[in-house]
Chain A
Amino acid sequence: MLRISPIELAVMAVRRAMAEGATEAEAFVTYSRGYSVSIFAGKIRDVEYDDDIGVGVRVAVGKKVGFAYATGAEPGVAAEAARRAVRLARSAAPDRDWPGLPEPSPSYPDVGGIYEASLARVTPEALLDEAKSLIGFVEGYREEGVLLSRARIGASVVERAIANSNGVYQVDAGTYASVMVSTTISREGVTTPAVFVFDSSRVTMPSVERVAERAIELSRLATRRAEQPSPGRYTVVYAPQALAELLEETVLFSLRGDMAVRGRSYFRNKIGQQVLSEKITIVDDGALKGGDASWRFDGEGVATRRTVLVEEGILRSFVYDTYWGRRAGYESTGNAVRAGYASRPSVGFTNVILGEGDAAPEELLEGRVIVVYQVQGAHTASPETGEYSVLANPAILYENGEPRGWVPGLVVSGNMYQELREKVEAVGKWLEKPYPGIQLPWIRLGGVTVAPRA
């Protein structure tokens, strides 16, 4: 138990910062506790307990801004963070664009499905039981050569509290559970690439068996090899996991309001214009019921909300926090994101949904196509130009809906902005969640450049 509640700690830090000479101050406290089990090579490697509390203090002295955080839950911790933040702000150069900290929002959403008492009280024994069933489940496939190379099962509860000198005073609590499973199949001296499958929920433990089944199904596709294609352009179908990674580095980067203001966004000055295929709609929703990243308020105490970013290919909005919103001439969209007390708020996404299309699996896989399930090196894509050149692994060749085998070492390259505007042939009619906070369908693209293995 804490002697001082998170919101009390936040208020102490704000008061202390003002007493030290700040003209504005904000304190953000997160208190998280949870258990997780990690599995390596089919064995439980670590069972972990977290107990993490600290306070992050953002202050302004006039237009000079400083941020500091300290760990712990004692009044001295709040005081130390406040004192260092003010001292740093005094040394900093003034930011003439500093708009001040946000005011309280007129109302805050009632976000449902983000806290479940039974999940908050989950015992390590229960998590260990899940881990043991997972290990047992995968061992059932040992004859096939399936290995549980890695897995992680976790459950946590987080309290968030924020206070600022403009009267923001908010608390929220949420629970979260997740399962990640990675498998390979080793048979006759050949190892398939490690595949990663994920699921999560705010209110219940996802089924470990279901996640493992999906990983094994994917691994099986790579046990047979297809012939290397010659270099050229092919129809490529991106599965949600590969697409999410490439989108994050390109389209999502360009939907950030800070990047639009800084001129780095590919979509700058294009509000109201067709920037992607009319088959594509993208929404950010920080108040999504049960969303992985849903909270009542964002990292600076602004109410979360739903924002349509791209509607049938037309650019409608960027995401903003208070600072970059003001610089662009807009309100914050409630997208000041922070991982916890240790990070300063910055423009980011909450729950991203790329809406489903109307294509059934047989339409996505029609003819001869290369399906890219995962990619390596998405982080080396260029956000400014959209150019990417990544290893597709596994890439599976399909002919008329039938998997023909794994194509090892295939490099796919192109330009995400152009491809998602001009080359979208079909969008799958269901959504998947390959990573926390992003839901999206399968997308079929024509004419993607492919280089075979050396």
Chain B
Amino acid sequence: MALENVRDLLEQVVGYASARGVELAEFRVERRKATRIELIDGSMVANAAVDYGVAVRVYVNGSFGFAYTTRLSREKVIDVFNRALALARGASAGLPKPLILDPLEGEYTHPVKVSVEDVSEEQKISDIVGFDKLLAKAPHVKSRTVVYTDIVEDKFYASTEDRYIHERRELAYMYASVYGQEAGVRGSAHIVLGTAKGYALWYKYDPEKEAERLSMRLRNQLEAATPKAGVFPVILAPEALGVFVHEAFGHLAEADLVVAGSVLRGKKGQKVASELVTIVDDPYIDDGFGTFRFDDEGVKTAKAVIVDRGVHRQVMTDRLHAQMLGEKPTGNARAESFRHPPLVRMRNTYMEPRDASLEEMLEGIKFGYYVVSTGGGQTNIDGSFQVGVEEAYEIVNGEIGRPVRNLAIAGNTLETLLNIDMVGKDFELHYGRCGKGQLVYVSDGGPHVRVRRMTVGGRA
């Protein structure tokens, strides 16, 4: 179905649904056109996708029913609507009624430098092959994986509230990982580059610098010492802090996890972090992977101030949990695609900068660790977290020392936030995907911070 015809389809099916006595029915028609170029040690596979389908969610009688199809005809959409309706009717889940909104017409196309659709596949291939060749130059790089992906996302939302929204955005990112071996020591390192400005990766990032950065990360792995296990002061660089803010803390402030008993439950208005700490989830930041105007429940997005100078102020909500908790709607409902109902998810999550410099943070640390980049992390609703570290260094007598490997930082998130005694004046945003059963594109970041004491896993 051509995109021009989607609005007609939506009006027809909303009309049909409105006549069926539902309290709320929502239709999401989503089309993602993606190009993906993979280079495995220089061997190429080019991939393309047209992922196009419709999701229907119905609220009736205290329950949600959800259905989707990849077959986009009026008959099929009505068929899956009726299935969703029957599912909701049968569930008697006893959920409160989600927030109901006013009629609205919304249309937003995020501006891009150059649309990825206006750049030939030959050009994209040539750029990515060029980057791969830079990586191949370093003698310690033995194996390479470089994946370039761009996505043009058209999302239509319509509901029985007479809300009709269309939002279009483009995401592009590159993942590169290298593996090396020298004198019997093996190691690997990776980087992720991203932009929401169309075909702009190579405007935004200098390929030579990025290739050099990745090559240096690998070299560090090969030369690294094994860290001591124990409790030490730690400085987190923006990339690592972003992962911490997102994984270790952000998830605990998602309203569904708050309801499920996260450690932030009942902590509103309480001090949960050092007063130097302000953490927000911001849907408006320029060039973020989590930047959008309307979420997947057709709710206008708003900034969520989760922690303001150490005090827990807001949780991230969807329509249902805003109602359950009596919180403001923040527009945090996101679905990976039409195949999934939305969940409460983060967007661009970061810690706001303050005034310290890295030099000031290093001063006075006799022995500790400087953590630059990570391989990701994981939290549990009990408030415990683990972040696996890729690039890290010893700090010895106030100076950054030799690189270390196979390090993880772990602990209790709130205790860690209370232990932050310096927050830097710099700021970086990083790009990635977050999994919570479904994958969504997010950004995270912040400045450098210093944590007085943190558990570091290594060798005893």
Q: List the interface of chain A (C-beta within 8 A of B).
A: 35, 37, 40-41, 43-54, 65-74, 80-81, 84-85, 87-89, 91-93, 95, 97, 124-125, 128, 147, 149-150, 184, 186, 191-194, 231-233, 258, 262-264, 266, 342, 344, 375-377, 379-385, 387-391, 393, 408-409, 411-413, 449-454
Contacts of A95 in B (CB 8 A): 43-45
Q: Is the CB of B125 within 8 A of A93?
A: yes
Mark contacts of B368-397 with chain A using CB atoms, 8 A cut-off: 1 yes-contact digit, 0 otherwise.
000000111111111111111100000000
A-B contact pairs, 16 of them (CB 8 A): A45-B93, A46-B57, A47-B87, A49-B84, A52-B53, A66-B46, A68-B48, A68-B49, A72-B52, A88-B48, A91-B125, A149-B261, A344-B45, A413-B457, A451-B230, A454-B412
Q: Which residues of A contact B67 (CB under 8 A)?
A: 48-51
Beyond A65-B44, A344-B45, A393-B384, is A451–B458 a contact (Cβ under 8 Å)?
yes
Checking B95, B386, B458 against A449 with a beta-carbon cut-off of 8 angstroms, the contacting residue is: B458
Cα distance A393–B125 in the bound complex, in angstroms: 44
| B335-393 interface (Cβ within 8 A of A) | 339, 341, 374-389
Instruction: Decide: A53 and B41 in contact? CB cutoff 8 A.
Output: no
Q: Nearest 10 CB-CB pairs, A to B?
A: A380-B388, A411-B457, A389-B408, A377-B386, A391-B386, A389-B457, A44-B93, A387-B406, A71-B70, A451-B229
From B86, B187, B261, A184 is in contact (CB under 8 Å) with B261
Bound form: Cα–Cα A118–B232 in Å = 58
Whether A389 lies near B260 (C-beta < 8 A) is no
Contacts known (A95-B43, A389-B388); A49 close to B66, Cβ less than 8 A: yes
Q: Is B106 located at the chain interface by the 8 A CB criterion?
A: no
User: What chain A residues lie within 8 Å of B406 (beta carbons)?
Assistant: 382, 385, 387-389, 413
Partner of B407, one of A54, A233, A389, A453: A389
For A380, list chain B residues within 8 Å (CB).
Answer: 374-377, 386-389, 408
**Closest Cβ–Cβ distance, residue A31 to chain B (whole Å):** 9
Q: Is B453 an interface residue (CB 8 A)?
A: yes
Q: Does B69 contact A (CB under 8 A)?
A: yes
Judge whether B90 and A384 touch: CB under 8 Å: no
**Interface residue SS majority, chain B:** strand
Q: Is the CB of A390 within 8 A of B48?
A: no
Query: Is B332's beta carbon under 8 Å from chain A?
Result: no
Number of interface residues of B (CB under 8 A): 92
Q: Report the bound CA distance from A193 to B143 in whole Å.
A: 39
Q: A376, B341: Cβ atoms under 8 Å? A: no
Q: Is residue B181 within 8 Å, beta carbon to beta carbon, of the partner chain?
A: yes
Instruction: Say yes or no: B231 contacts A454, CB within 8 Å.
Output: yes
Shortest beta-carbon distance, B450 to chain A, in Å? 14
Residues of B within 8 A of A74 (CB): 71
Q: A91-B121, A411-B410, A449-B457 are in contact. List 20 more A-B contacts (CB 8 A).
A: A41-B259, A47-B88, A48-B87, A49-B87, A51-B67, A66-B47, A67-B48, A88-B121, A89-B46, A184-B261, A231-B230, A262-B143, A266-B186, A380-B377, A380-B388, A381-B388, A389-B388, A408-B384, A413-B459, A451-B457
CB proximity of B274 to chain A, nearest CB, Å:
15
- B306 on the A face (CB < 8 A): no
Which A residues are CB-close (under 8 A) to B70? 51-54, 71-73
Q: Are B412 and A69 in contact (CB under 8 A)?
A: no
Residue in A49, A80, A92 whose beta carbon sits within 8 Å of that of B44 in the complex: A92
Given contact pairs A72-B52, A384-B188, A391 touches B64 in the complex (Cβ within 8 A): no
- Mask, B326-340, CB within 8 Å of A = 1, is 000000000000010
Q: How far is the CA of A158 from the CA of B443 in the complex (A)?
A: 35
Interface centre among A65, A184, A391 (most CB of B within 10 A): A391
Question: Does B47 contact A91, Cβ atoms closer than 8 Å?
Answer: no
CB-based contact B386/A47 at 8 Å:
no
Point out the residues of chain A lying under 8 angstroms from B407, CB to CB: 389
- The listed residue (A43, A264, A387) touching B93 by CB distance below 8 A is A43
